[in-house]
Structure 1
């Protein structure tokens, strides 16, 4: 009898814990299109999250009722009262007003705003922030998912980039039909692209020193409650045929000179491929980094999404094969934690192999089961379930 009571209490606790998870999708109020990278938080708590590329979100609550606050640089900040747990919330956000009237008043204002933003950030370039983050990378070849790996990191970040990392939990799976193609250090590029005070070792990026190399224009102003956000496009004036460079869009506060979002289109990125693969055409890379406003003088990293479009030639002894590959990654910060500042962080290095990082930590299936931080797009979810069904996670061996 006592055993049955204990089992019942454990089951009740598990149901109660599960019921505290809130899931849903954020969409545009008018178009109904999903909105990626929307920040959300439970008001009055430290619980935060961010929607993924499909607008899907998951957040864990301790009790109800509660208020969820949603914010995105292009939408009005909105609050919603949630009275009970749900797995199918639909949150509709209203676009912020767009002001085009002021765009042509001062043709140099975009450059001035960027310069002010860079100068402000430079004052804090040596100040580190300590964050907990979740990273997922999905590789697709010829439109078919082939491998996925996921890592929980502690990271050390500043306004230039992520400078240190500790892998806490990992898992990996790959299809038995996967090609020989492998991109071994996507996380290095993600970490290196996670700041807004870029200091590249090679190539041309938008920095305070390179502003004269770009045509800089304010595309529009987004009218938020406290200030306008200027959307500033930067297009390189002249690029060589094989020159490594980025065209960028910055979202800058017109009053506080903080940077809220950076989008990069990167061409001719120098990369190395494994197993005798080479590029048929230079890779094209797109990144979107979002930064969360707080009481500090600079905004801290919230998420960094990268997507690489690769046209590859793979040659073996018998034949040559053309492959079209896409490597997508998303690093999302779910907690700021100064308690980890004294940990021993690994330096961000180009020669770090993601596979080796994954293999260095024993797979813990219980940790990943129903983990509320692990949010997936529909494609990732389908592939993950396929791999789980084949018991492929936790091993580098094809199922």
Structure 2
């Protein structure tokens, strides 16, 4: 049986209501997301793999596994192809058609070779080309969020815990500016507080393109300042590609600034994938003039997403900044000090925002920034990024036992601050 079509005349109010409903439905459909969860493991040892890059093929979407190998990733729809890569393992691709169950992604260990032809000046050529690529890529800006966590231990016991969500502007070599979205700080009265330590993360970069006398590894002065050794080429699943070069570096004996570390460079595209450096140069001082930091060791660890194509620019995945030192004071026992930080970048895109990003300054005070935003316990309880980068249970327990978590330390004997 066929029913006749009956024309309906909509009033202006009804038309506006129908249009609004249509727009809402379209907006809801446009923002619908599929949440993928899973774990990345070593195919041979079955152990979880931390900080593995998980990207979505053909898009700029991506994330990294946490310290337990776990990850979450929102995608617009399924099916999707995930590109999974880690420096010491073979890159793999996985076709995902359903989000009903958590994914288990397995990576096989990559072979490492050292061809006889790739010796001598070869590591210097790679570093020079990586520097030139950074100069080119540095023009691309990224906008997103970053989760910063800092844990301080004095004499082995946790004394500070700071967590911040930044809105962040960055490029292919550093953070350019931040503005705080949420923050919290917990601590106990002790001999020293590192309440301004984030400046070492927010000010550090791979190179300074404006300096012709730079002591950075990636600079025009690499040969004059550094000794390089090619440790090997980490081969990928595709044997036709050049692989990733692992290069150890150390400042030459005649250079006063001491530094050593390892850089991983894509031997085909010259993209820096990871940079790890240690130096005894720590510029911080204590507000207590009788306190000194001896035997300091600063370490910076920066990792970048793998570029979607040879010419694409890849954003930061994470940054780790750490300090170990001995705190000395006349007439008192020497205390070992450790400050560990992790900055995890997420929701990164190339779309500019109108947020007021501020460059890091030695005048910055972390606690002042945290106090400038109202503490919201629910934000931290329900934040998936915080949950996926779990802190050691014993650290949380130590602060909760003292009733200090989520509070501010109003009085502290001394503080460590960057030296001007």
Q: Classify the TM-score, shorter chain.
A: 0.7 to 0.9
Correspondence 1:135 to 2:148: yes
Question: Cα–Cα, structure 1 residues 277 and 361, in superposed 2: closer, same or farther, change >3 Å?
Answer: farther
Correspondence 1:301 to 2:312: no
| CA-CA distance at 1:127 after TM superposition | 3.7
Question: Partners in 2 of 1:201 and 1:394 — Cα distance?
Answer: 45
Out of 339, 343, 350, the residue aligned to residue 331 of structure 1 is 343
Alignment correspondent of 2:115: 101
| CA-CA distance at 1:98 after TM superposition | 0.9
Question: Partners in 1 of 2:328 and 2:351 — Cα distance?
Answer: 47
Question: Partners in 1 of 2:361 and 2:55 — Cα distance?
Answer: 33
Q: Secondary structure of the residue that 2:392 maps to in structure 1?
A: helix
Alignment correspondent of 2:377: 365
Q: Secondary structure of the residue that 2:167 maps to in structure 1?
A: strand
RMSD: 3.3
| CA-CA distance at 1:349 after TM superposition | 0.9
Structure 1 window deviating more from structure 2 (57-66 vs 304-313): it is 57-66
TM score, norm. by length of structure 1: 0.80
Out of 135, 142, 156, the residue aligned to residue 122 of structure 1 is 135
Does the Cα contact within 8 Å between 1:311 and 1:323 map onto a contact in 2? yes
Structure 2: 5+ residue runs without aligned partners?
A: 1-33, 411-420
Alignment correspondent of 2:197: 186
Q: Secondary structure of the residue that 1:383 maps to in structure 2?
A: helix
Alignment correspondent of 1:282: 295
Larger Rg: 2
Out of 15, 31, 50, the residue aligned to residue 64 of structure 2 is 50
Question: Partners in 2 of 1:380 and 1:195 — Cα distance?
Answer: 30
| CA-CA distance at 1:370 after TM superposition | 3.0
Q: Secondary structure of the residue that 1:118 maps to in structure 2?
A: helix
| CA-CA distance at 1:138 after TM superposition | 0.9
Show CA shifts across 1:90-144 (max 9, x none). Answer: 6442111211234x64310000111111112213434422232111111112222
Question: Partners in 2 of 1:22 and 1:207 — Cα distance?
Answer: 36
Does the Cα contact within 8 Å between 1:151 and 1:170 map onto a contact in 2? yes
Question: Partners in 2 of 1:69 and 1:196 — Cα distance?
Answer: 29
Question: Partners in 2 of 1:67 and 1:370 — Cα distance?
Answer: 29
Correspondence 1:230 to 2:248: no
Question: Cα–Cα, structure 1 residues 84 and 339, in superposed 2: closer, same or farther, change >3 Å?
Answer: closer
Does the Cα contact within 8 Å between 1:160 and 1:198 map onto a contact in 2? no
Alignment correspondent of 1:7: none
Does the Cα contact within 8 Å between 1:156 and 1:163 map onto a contact in 2? yes
Question: Partners in 1 of 2:183 and 2:283 — Cα distance?
Answer: 27
Show CA shifts across 1:228-287 (max 9, x none). Answer: 1111111112156xx443223211111211111111111222212344563352310222
Correspondence 1:380 to 2:395: no
Question: Cα–Cα, structure 1 residues 286 and 341, in superposed 2: closer, same or farther, change >3 Å?
Answer: same
Question: Cα–Cα, structure 1 residues 325 and 254, in superposed 2: closer, same or farther, change >3 Å?
Answer: same
Structure 1: 5+ residue runs without aligned partners?
A: 1-18
Q: Which has the higher strand share?
A: 1
